[in-house]
Amino acid sequence: MNESDQIREGSGAAQRRYSLRVAFLKWAEDIRELHFSQSNSWGCPARHPKQLIIFLFFLGVFQGCASGGPEATADRFMDAYYAAADLGTALNLADGLAAKKIRDQQQLTKGGPGPQSSQGRRVSYTRIEQKTVDGKLFFRYEVRIDLQGTGLLMRKTLVAMDHGPNGWRVTNFTDTD
């Protein structure tokens, strides 16, 4: 198990993405204030090649964060569906039966947040297993839901993934107590 498999707080991944965006936007503002040399036809700042390298580094980091492999997609689904109870974001990561389950839940809640969106809850999860069967990838998660005043719920969630034209997508998910 590596560091990325450690317990993830519901808003942890979103907070890291937000922090990276803020750092990038601050850096972009600093770049805009620079005076570019007119002698370079391609517009590279002649005096600040280090900033160009930093820009390319951040561009690569953002590209890597945006795409991600199956693990990143499954974790984003877990963040959206379980931790944030954001059915719209979860639906954007889903296809097939998973998308149908989320749409059904949206109809039941009339477009509002999912039933797990009660105040005073904290959700964390750990990816505990990964298997491949017939080209489909399965991740098993242990989900901890700490409800303020009611106690702790433990669930196991199985997330099925498939690679299609839109990249890795969640095709099904099931919970057991």
Hunting for tokens 């149908």 — which residue is that?
100
- For 125, other C-beta atoms within 10 Å of its C-beta total 21
CA 110 to CA 117: how far, in whole Å? 14
The chain-wide mean pLDDT, for the chain, equals: 76
Q: Which amino acid is at 145?
A: I
CA 169 to CA 93: how far, in whole Å? 6
Sign of CA dihedral 115, 156, 77, 60: positive
**112: number of CA atoms within 13 Å, CB side?**
7
Is the pLDDT score of 74 beyond 80? yes
Give the H or E element holding residue 144. Answer: strand 136-147
pLDDT of residue 64: 46
- pLDDT band, residue 93 (cuts 50/70/90): very high
- For residue range 16-44, what is the model confidence (pLDDT) as tens digits? 555 566 666 665 666 555 544 444 444 54
Give the H or E element holding residue 76. Answer: helix 70-78
Which range has the worst mean pLDDT, 7-11, 56-60, 134-138? 7-11
- For residue range 108-164, what is the model confidence (pLDDT) as tens digits? 988 555 555 556 788 999 999 999 998 889 999 999 999 887 888 899 999 999 998
Q: Global pTM? A: 0.60
Burial class of residue 175, CB neighbours in 10 A (0-12, 13-18, 19+): exposed
